[in-house]
């Protein structure tokens, strides 16, 4: 018999991890900047707004914000709890587990350095405070939460901790969680990890090719990198084709550079929440910004024009060399709407509709 949807709210019981499970990710976390991307400590808060959703993340500790590498622990716990629910078991936000089980499921090599890595991750997750209006109501600023709390580590009992209600509420809804490719946990690049989660959330395993504006990706990542460096990082990922389950390329459409993402692993079942197949024409004309940088010709087969019309090819991946000596102030610059208002409204509309352009 399936337990009640809110059975995990009983505060005096603890869920004990006792078997393997596939990690799961949560929709709400996958295309918004809830975590720092780099391995170096980040103390600057994250403040992101897209459409009607807002995310504020701050750190109360010296170690800085929790990173995407630290979030592996949350994804593993989400898989354990979701797996238990699928088996009709009772769960709780109070969890206990032995580190070796986490190491085995995520492919970490057991050793003293992995225990130090786990301790550091738990410390940053506990010190990171999150405020968001996503599923939190109008008083969301008064409802901050840490990713984990009441963390205790001992030789006999392993790790005991408490997860926030916000996290558990998402796990109890099957449509809010997605499986994660095992290769993701071996990716060491923060931008690559973020891009995989974005693609998994926005593209999933749907057929077709989906385009995403570079500027929109930069904003949604929450990175401290300049757009120039962020674009370079994307270029390296495209050349390496390092996203498991996806093929990447770049293209030019209406003067704007886009990242094209195509799933290489087809869906084995119906798509629960498909990407919006079309963006309104008024939005399509204004989404993102037009680049004025000379990107030059390229022989790279990952770079094409989105349009079939024969036009002079400009390649985002080679602009690093063409920009040297240029007086251009940035790689992305508005030249169709000086006020930027049209761009802002269009971005919010695209964010609300999934940001996918076929």
What pLDDT tens digit does each residue of the chain (358 aa) get?
Answer: 444 445 545 556 788 898 888 999 999 999 899 999 988 899 999 999 988 889 999 998 788 999 999 999 999 999 999 999 999 888 999 999 999 999 999 988 877 889 999 999 999 999 999 999 998 888 888 899 999 999 999 888 899 999 999 999 999 998 899 999 999 999 989 999 999 999 999 998 888 888 999 888 999 999 999 988 999 999 999 999 999 999 999 888 777 888 999 999 765 444 444 444 322 222 222 222 222 222 222 333 344 456 433 333 334 443 332 332 223 333 333 333 445 554 454 444 334 334 343 3
pLDDT confidence of residue 6 = 52
Residue linked to tokens 């078997």 = 19
Quickly tell me which residue has 């995403």 as its tokens: 212
What does the block give as tokens for 31? 């295309």
Strand order in the sheet with 145-146: 46-50, 53-59, 128-132, 145-146
Query: First-to-last CA distance in the chain?
Result: 43
User: Between helices 214-221 and 227-240, what is the axis angle to 10°?
Assistant: 100
Cα-Cα-Cα-Cα dihedral sign, residues 204, 205, 207, 210: positive
Residue carrying structure tokens 């000596």: 325
> Which structure tokens are listed for 344?
């802002």
Distance CA 325, CA 70 (A): 40
**Three-class DSSP category at 33:** coil
Structure tokens at 117: 């890595």
Give dist(CA 132, CA 141) in Å, integer.
7
d(C-alpha 297, C-alpha 300), whole Å: 9
Residue 277 contacts residue 340 (beta carbons within 8 Å): no
Note whether 223 and 37 are within 8 A (CB): yes
Residue 310 is inside which H or E element, if any?
none
User: Quick check: 187 and 75 in contact, CB under 8 A?
Assistant: no
CB neighbourhood size of 5 (10 A): 11
Q: Is the dihedral of CA 22, 28, 29, 31 positive or negative?
A: positive
Specify the pLDDT at position 223.
92
Residues 6 or more apart whose Cβ sits within 8 Å of residue 275: 202, 203, 204, 206, 210, 354, 356
Select from 353, 335, 191 the least CA-distant residue to 256: 335
Cα 277 off chain centre by: 21
Model pLDDT, residue 112 = 84
The contacts of residue 171 (CB under 8 Å, 6+ apart) are 24, 26, 78, 81, 82, 85, 91, 177
114 token code pair: 């992995």
Q: How big is the CA angle at 178 (ends 174 and 131), to the nearest 5 degrees?
A: 85
pLDDT of the residue at 267: 57
* CA–CA gap between residue 159 and residue 123 (Å, rounded): 12
Would you state the pLDDT for residue 97?
Answer: 94
What is residue 29's predicted lDDT score, i.e. its pLDDT? 93
Written as six digits, the tokens of 42 are 């980040």
């Amino acid at each position: 018999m399936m337990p009640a949807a809110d059975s995990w709210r009983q505060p005096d019981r603890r869920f004990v991890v006792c078997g393997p499970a596939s990690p799961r990710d949560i929709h709400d976390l996958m295309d918004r900047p809830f975590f720092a991307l780099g391995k170096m400590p980040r103390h600057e808060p994250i403040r992101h707004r897209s459409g009607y959703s807002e995310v504020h993340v701050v750190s109360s500790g010296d170690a800085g914000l929790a990173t995407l590498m630290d979030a592996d622990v949350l994804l593993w716990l989400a898989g354990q709890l979701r797996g238990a629910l699928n088996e009709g078991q009772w769960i709780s936000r109070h969890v206990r587990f032995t580190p070796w089980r986490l190491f085995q499921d995520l492919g970490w090599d057991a050793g003293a350095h992995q225990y130090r890595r786990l301790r550091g991750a738990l410390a940053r997750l506990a010190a990171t405070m999150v405020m968001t209006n996503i599923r939190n109501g109008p008083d969301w600023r008064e409802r901050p939460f840490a990713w984990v709390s009441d963390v205790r580590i001992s030789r006999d009992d392993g790790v005991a901790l408490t997860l926030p209600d916000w996290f558990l509420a998402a796990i109890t809804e099957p449509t809010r969680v997605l499986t994660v490719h095992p290769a993701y946990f071996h990716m060491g690049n923060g931008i690559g990890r973020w891009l995989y989660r974005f693609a998994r959330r926005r593209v999933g395993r749907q057929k077709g090719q989906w385009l995403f504006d570079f500027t929109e990706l930069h904003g949604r990542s929450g990175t401290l990198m300049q757009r120039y460096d962020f674009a370079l990082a994307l270029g390296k990922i495209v050349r390496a084709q390092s996203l498991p389950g996806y093929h990447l390329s770049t293209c030019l459409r209406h003067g704007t550079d886009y990242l094209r993402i195509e799933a290489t692993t087809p869906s084995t079942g119906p798509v629960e929440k498909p990407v919006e197949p079309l963006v309104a024409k008024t939005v399509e004309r204004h989404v993102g910004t037009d680049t004025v940088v000379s990107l030059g010709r390229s022989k790279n087969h990952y770079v094409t024009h989105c349009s079939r019309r024969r036009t002079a090819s400009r390649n985002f991946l080679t602009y690093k060399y063409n920009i040297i000596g240029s007086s251009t102030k940035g790689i992305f610059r508005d030249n169709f709407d000086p006020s930027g208002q049209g761009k802002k409204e269009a971005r919010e509309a695209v964010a609300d509709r999934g940001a996918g352009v076929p």
